[in-house]
Chain A
Amino acid sequence: MSPDFLIALTMLTNFTLVATSRVNKAIQLVVVQGILLGLIPIAMGLGRHLHILFMALSAIAVKGWLIPFLFRRALREVHIRREVDPYVGYTMSLLLCALGTGLSLVLAHGLPLKPGTSPTFLVPAALATLFTGFLLLVSRRKALTQVAGYLVLENGIYLFGLLLVEEMPILVETGILLDLFVGVFVMGIVINHIRSAFDSTDTRHLAELKD
């Protein structure tokens, strides 16, 4: 498998994520995307570096097992199946996602990148995933789908990190994983607290907290 193929698949998962209304399916897609991302460095032939291999495997473990595990548990507790009325509709989200992907393709050309970086699809894919994550965070109401958006955002950052993976110390990579893990935990706590305080996981209720 060439890395470009995996990247294309990642971008496709972005579109599917934006268009799906089922929470369960969104989680599955995030998991798929996480595993795809974990495979990319191996497909790029970087598996010969032991630390990169280790990082890729741990990314797959965290994104493919730990996060869906936490997600499913949260899902069992809050009893929601689908995102009912998002701020931005699904068709509109899809259009925006397409616009964002197109824009990132344009942007990636014009970005002043470090000389010597391989001109792959990596940069536009990273930007597109970043925008998708933002889009999900902005347009969805339920805390669970927002967590999914956050994970997609992190995936975008991870993709960007892959650009420099050969020079980047392992510390930074584990930092990304740790950040992700903390993010899921925090969101999990937030979800539980919203639910216990307002008896719903709608993030609109958080507006009552402002002073």
Chain B
Amino acid sequence: MPDITLILLAAGCWMVAAVLPFVPPVKEGRLSTVVGALGSLLAFVAALHALLSGHASHVDLRLWLGPVRLEVDALSAAFLLPLHLVAGLGIVFGLEYWPANLAKGFGRSLRFYFGLLVTAITLLFLLRNGLVFLMAWEAMAVSAFFLVATEHHHPEVRHASWIYLVCTHTGTLIITASIILLAHRMGGFPWLPISGAAEDLDGWILLLAVLGFGFKAGLLPLHFWLPAAHASSPSHVSAILSSVMLKTGVYGVLRVSSLLPTVPAWLGGALLALGGLSAVYGVWNALAQRDYKRLLAYSSIENLGIIAMGIGLGWTGRATESPILAALGFGGAIFHVWNHAIFKSLLFFGSGSLLHATGTRDMEALGGLAARMPRTALLLFPAVLAVSALPPFNGFLSEWFLYRGLFASLKGGYPWSAGLALLALVLTGGLAAVAFARFYGTVFLGSPRSSAVDHTHDPSALMLGPMALLAGLTLAMGLLILPLLPVLDCIIGLLAPSPGGLSAGSLAAPLASILGRDLRLLLVLEGLLLALGGLGLAWLGGRKVRAKAPPTWDCGYAAPTARMQYTGSSFADGWALALPGVTRRVRTIRRLFPGPQTFRLKVVDAVGDGMVVPWFGRLAARLLRFRRLQPGFLALYILYLLLALLAVFLWLLVRGRFLA
């Protein structure tokens, strides 16, 4: 059976899984979970086959809008893989995390919109017609809105979901403009690669696409909807939103650019710089958060920034006809799309089990969980290392590709954007390590900071299983990079028409051999590192002497309490305070025996809450004067209709008289 049929079948499975919870005899959602997971398995295998075989398969439909083609090529398959990995694992995870028959849990509607979201995104990656693509895009955006608003009895959840809805529709507006221009350029809505010379319009199409899809991907000034929306939704939903839905923006940009004959060089540089800024801004904000799900959401902004840097680098390579830049940029971006999907969904699943066990999203209320939830702690550890881009985990390699590409770009003489991006990448990696050390240390190490930790325990295998699979993948993707290179080349071939790639066969010989040599060296080093780590663990485990467990750190104080340990905020103090938007209020202590003191630390998003939201507020106040047009009288509205009709008639008349 062709891959496309299997994938469409999988989309059908997800639709059935969405509806099943409403069928009367099925109450607990077990059947719907099985059907959904089966659909994901089908789609995953089909996408993998499409990617490995390198053959695109398609079906053509005729809708009333015209011909619609559904096609799975390497680029679609590259995005379908993480979608169905995370969706399949997510629905299994959700079975225990969010039971369908939970009182006030809205479990059924959650399952329905989850299925709808997965179906819509699956179709989104397949459709090759601008108009139908927009429909799938809207279906995705709206079902994501309902998913974010699952716990709509909380006012802050409602607020987050409304902001998300407004943002996604603004984004859709810009995307629509881009798609209309694209249709104008192609002479129709079906997407076919444009051959021939470049036009000025191409730059505009791509710029609008970057803006519109950037809204979804959370690039810098357009990211402000993201943290609240991802923090408010149920964790397995956050996982799919963060690791797949944000990537639909990346997919859209890549797809549109792959249709155009050329990419203007300045746009590549601009995206490189913008991605760098987003990455640094995201990770810096992540550093200052107390809510661990917000932290993860900001880290998503960071990672999407890194992916945008990869795309920018790839575009620069495409514009300057430098295959090595295109290969390293696009390869790094796609590889990071996969890696981020894996480790970020693992982190969100982990945060789900933390939330499930403790009931709080406040990091400062937790602590010492490694002793109480050892399996969760163990499974989250690889994710924390991967997101900090440490070897031998997968996040390290995708950033390594980017580093190679940026250095090559510097040598090639495109210094300003590459230099900025290099700096940003270095800073991002370091700050991410600090942010996640803080997360892991505050939550799992030390001693408990509140009674929320008291009765916690590891979740059952239904929740741990998906996490274990993902944790294994973070390591496997890091170690099995060499067989993945030809697969990445397949995708790069679609994105950059000029021949190029990462594996030895496709690239100019010396560069490829250098790249391959370096990768092998890296792998040997990583192997050594792993062996060393294993030996160290064995040595530690082999020691029979167990020290008795004192409180974490007693500062030489006679009666230490849990409140004396480092908090997450104090750990990040030196870095986070330099961030605009962090306000600290503390009274200086003057007397010898001071009374009780208060200390307040407040974090607001300097760009989102500090600039964009007030700007919208002012705009709304300006626009309020148009409310006078809506006094509520039906007769007046009909008068508007009449005036419009008259205007149309008069226009026809005038045109008939004077212009024709």
Contacts and interface: CB of A to CB of B under 8 A. Distances in A.
Contacts of A135: 642
Interface residues of B, number: 17
Given A134-B642, A138-B642, A210-B630, A111 B653 contact: yes
Nearest to A112: B656
Contacts of A209: 632
A87 B641 contact: no
A116 interface: no
Interface stretch (A10-18, A52-60, A71-79, A200-208): A200-208
B633 interface: yes
What is the predominant secondary structure among interface residues of chain B facing chain A? Answer: helix
A127 B646 CA distance: 10
Interface string A90-126: 0000000000000000110011100000000000000
Contacts of A206: 632-634
Given A107-B653, A110-B657, A134-B641, A146 B631 contact: no
Given A107-B653, A112-B656, A139 B635 contact: yes
Contact of A207 (B631, B639, B642, B652): B631
Contacts, number: 50
B102 interface: no
B638 interface: yes
Contacts of B615: none
A137 interface: yes
A111 B632 contact: no
Contacts of A140: 635
Contacts of B639: 134, 138
B635 A203 contact: yes
Nearest to A206: B634
A134 B641 CA distance: 9
A107 B630 CA distance: 30
B95 to A, nearest CB: 40
Nearest to B650: A107
Contacts of A204: 633
Contacts of A87: 635
B649 interface: yes
B647 to A, nearest CB: 12
B631 A107 contact: no
A210 B641 contact: no
B634 A210 contact: no
Pick the most buried of B635, B638, B652, B656: most chain A CB atoms within 10 A of its CB.
Answer: B635
A210 B631 contact: yes
Nearest to A143: B634
22 contacts: A87-B635, A106-B653, A107-B649, A107-B653, A110-B652, A110-B656, A111-B656, A112-B652, A112-B656, A127-B649, A130-B645, A134-B639, A137-B635, A138-B642, A139-B635, A146-B634, A146-B635, A203-B634, A206-B632, A206-B633, A207-B632, A210-B632
Interface of B: 630-636, 638-639, 641-642, 645, 649, 652-653, 656-657
Given A87-B635, A111-B653, A137-B638, 10 more contacts: A107-B649, A110-B653, A131-B642, A134-B639, A138-B635, A138-B636, A146-B634, A203-B634, A206-B632, A210-B632
